[in-house]
Structure 1
Amino acid sequence: MALEIKGVSKAYGRFPALKDVSLQARDKEFLALLGPSGSGKTTLLRVLAGLETPDAGEVRFGGEDFLSLPVRHRKVGMVFQHYALFRHMTVAQNIAFGLTVRKRSEKPSKSEIADRVHKLLQLVQLEDLGKRYPSQLSGGQRQRVALARALAIEPRMLLLDEPFGALDAQVRRELRRWLRELHDRAGVTTVFVTHDQEEALDLADRVAILKDGQLIQLGSPNEVYEHPATPFVFDFLGQACRMPGVVEGGRLRIADWDSEAPAGAPQGAVEVFFRPDEVTFAPADGAGLSADVKAVAQRGPDVRIDCRIEGQPVELIGHGPTLPPGVSPGLSVRVRPTRPQVYAAG
């Protein structure tokens, strides 16, 4: 493991931002820290960057005590949400900044700096824009410059704090794949903070999910999505339908529907979660949960179905282009979750 975080805690007054967080990242791994506002992900990133000092805990990187190293010796590149570029400097000057401010004994020659800037401009696909100023660039281009500047110091670890947060959805999607390719070519350990579930699942090798300063689950994107450790993780990683149920004798009962309980389901009162598109529909006299259809709306190849199950409003998704049999406003149908996740109630 390249990065080892053990028992890190940090409080601001009475507010605990991090509570005994422990996790690891492999060498050259792309690790996403995912969670809602206030979950502690940015605080953890700032601890790694040397911008915050934890109240307790240990951080090691490459076997070294990372917290005891002066910030300039950590060789960490950091990219913020709002670029933080120098407006009075050209693109090339911004990229070179971290090299030009080094002590004379550590500073590369002018030709070495120029060569590295040229290679980085090629890497971030801005080779013709080195003489421009930040005000002459688009938001996506500015973020590429910020990434190039972070890489200029040849960091051992790259820290990204919501780097696409200030960009519109289309630009975010375009930069997402590019960032993953950039990480692979740069060969550094990357820690990426985001509150965007799709972004984390699409980019990362592993995802650390935080809530209220605590680590809730750590795993590959497929592991955390397919096997959420808690109801919070299930709900946070995508649209979720939630129903109360009971597990007894290997059977799961939800309202008027009885089925075989999933393997390992807890006994007694439970909460049942399922994705709105992981359902099948049957006529009102078939098997499943009784649902009253209120409205239907076509959305490209899919169909949004607003209904009520046990008096609770539920939005389901049917895969088109035609409506599932019997699904029409004013009618009743039966709905069967195909992959329910079951958690102990409370």
Structure 2
Amino acid sequence: MKINTEIQQLTKEFKSFRALNCIDLTINQGEFLAVLGPSGCGKTTFLRLLAGFDSPTSGKIIMGDKEIASNKRILPPEKRNIGMVFQSFALWPHMNVREHIRFPLLHHRFLSKKLKESTDERINEVLKIVDLTHLQKRVPGELSGGQRQRVALARAIAAEPSLLLMDEPLSNLDAELRVEMRREIQNLHRLTGATIVYVTHDQGEALAMADRIVVMRNGEIEQADTPAEIYCKPKTEFVATFVGKANVLSGKWQGNVFMMNINGTLVTWQNSEVSDEMKKKNLFPVRPEQLEISLTGQGIPAEIINVQYQGKEIHYTVRVEQQHWNIHESQLFKIGDKVKINLKEEANIAVSLETYEYI
């Protein structure tokens, strides 16, 4: 049976503060859903409502054909078929790795008959999935941060929950280990087919791992889409600037042609990938890597005002009139260089305002 989770008009208020405002969302079985947003946007509140740690002010959560939360009735966490991975790992210091995995197999109320009859086989299978077979007798104090995180993941998936909730599970790890653990979680999702809701403020994690990303702001969903759509076709200014740090330029759209007035000259750029929502607002979200810098030739006059060397890529801040644009380039320029800016691989024509009807 296919078990989707339906969120209908979900609202949560704390006294006079509304943390979630009329959230509508479907979480599909087997989907890796990342909930992305800045601190205070409501993503952790959303996860707590899914887990059963809080009750909604209004709205419903339905898992499969069962209502698990509303303002009249809430099913406690232990009566929901969920697994949870916490930011702090939440491991028991006296239990070894194998005992951590055994625990949900002994106590999870939704355990299938098959798993009840083959507990040791399931433990061995999970140990293999998270690559901890050789460490199964160790306690958490004898493990590294990445290994402890694997134990937390193993414990969460052991009972095959319908929904696996992850609350910023990599935030306590160093940068190199976070990248490694991303791969681990992707592999776990592929091997288990689990439905995962992954809360994070890190856009890189969301883009790298998720099938779909929900971008939240001020308790509301700004956009729910695939990583490619979120990155390439943001529907709002917030999504454009929060995911990928786009330069949001103001001008005027005519079809797929964008026009803006720079220093008394009309610049026109052609692009067919911008969302209709942004076009209606006469905005063009330009990613830093979509722009290129040159010292000579035609283009928008600019000045380099900041340089951050990142190895393969160099991050520039340039001044265009009174605006600051972010550009990622491979060529080396210096602070103070007077440069020209163009849009990569797109029609890019600058003509006099007097020869083009702008308004």
Q: After TM superposition, list the pairs within 5 Å mapping 1:125-140 onto structure 2.
A: 125-140=131-146
1:232, 1:49 → 2: CA distance? 28
5+ residue gaps, structure 2, are 347-359
1:339, 1:18 → 2: CA distance? 41
Give 2:40's aligned residue: 38
Which TM-score applies when normalising by structure 1? Answer: 0.86
Q: After TM superposition, list the pairs within 5 Å mapping 1:215-254 onto structure 2.
A: 215-246=221-252, 252-254=259-261
Give 1:182's aligned residue: 188
Give 2:165's aligned residue: 159
Superposed CA deviations along residues 67-98 of structure 1, whole A, max 9, x for unmatched, are 25443332100110110011111112222222
What is the SS of the residue equivalent to 1:27? coil
Query: Taking structure 1 as reference, are residues 290 and 99 closer, same or farther at Cα in structure 2, changes over 3 Å only?
Result: same
Give 2:7's aligned residue: 5
Measure how far apart 1:261 and its partner are: 6.1
Give the partner amino acid of 2:86: F
Measure how far apart 1:317 and its partner are: 2.1
2:33·2:211 contact (CA, 8 Å) conserved in 1?
yes
Superposed CA deviations along residues 93-145 of structure 1, whole A, max 9, x for unmatched, are 22222233468x99999984333222211111100212111010011111111
Measure how far apart 1:168 and its partner are: 0.7
| Alignment counterpart, residue 76 of structure 1, candidates 79, 82, 87 | 82
Moved more, 214-223 or 242-251: 242-251
Aligned length: 332
Give 1:62's aligned residue: 64
Measure how far apart 1:61 and its partner are: 1.6
1:284·1:332 contact (CA, 8 Å) conserved in 2?
no
Query: Taking structure 1 as reference, are residues 109 and 56 closer, same or farther at Cα in structure 2, changes over 3 Å only?
Result: closer
Superposed CA deviations along residues 180-224 of structure 1, whole A, max 9, x for unmatched, are 111121122111111110100110110111111101100100011
Give 2:293's aligned residue: 281
| Alignment counterpart, residue 149 of structure 1, candidates 129, 138, 155 | 155
2:78 matches 1:86: no
Measure how far apart 1:152 and its partner are: 1.9
Give 1:258's aligned residue: 267
| Alignment counterpart, residue 290 of structure 1, candidates 279, 282, 301 | 301
1:279, 1:106 → 2: CA distance? 54
Moved more, 151-160 or 235-244: 235-244
Measure how far apart 1:277 and its partner are: 2.1
What is the SS of the residue equivalent to 2:147? helix
1:305·1:316 contact (CA, 8 Å) conserved in 2?
yes
2:115·2:159 contact (CA, 8 Å) conserved in 1?
no
2:306 matches 1:304: no
Give 2:340's aligned residue: 334
What is the SS of the residue equivalent to 1:239? coil
1:194, 1:84 → 2: CA distance? 18
Query: Taking structure 1 as reference, are residues 221 and 248 closer, same or farther at Cα in structure 2, changes over 3 Å only?
Result: closer
2:101·2:123 contact (CA, 8 Å) conserved in 1?
yes
2:305, 2:107 → 1: CA distance? 64
Give the partner amino acid of 1:231: E
1:200, 1:106 → 2: CA distance? 31
What is the SS of the residue equivalent to 1:66? strand
Query: Taking structure 1 as reference, are residues 3 and 258 closer, same or farther at Cα in structure 2, changes over 3 Å only?
Result: same
2:210 matches 1:204: yes
Measure how far apart 1:330 and its partner are: 3.8
2:118, 2:182 → 1: CA distance? 30
5+ residue gaps, structure 1, are 341-346
Q: State, as a whole percentage, how many aligned pairs show the same letter.
A: 38
1:297, 1:274 → 2: CA distance? 19
2:125 matches 1:119: yes
Which TM-score applies when normalising by structure 2? Answer: 0.83
Measure how far apart 1:225 and its partner are: 0.6
What is the SS of the residue equivalent to 1:277? helix
1:297, 1:8 → 2: CA distance? 43
What is the SS of the residue equivalent to 2:10? strand
Measure how far apart 1:253 and its partner are: 1.3
Measure how far apart 1:166 and its partner are: 0.7
Query: Taking structure 1 as reference, are residues 102 and 285 closer, same or farther at Cα in structure 2, changes over 3 Å only?
Result: closer
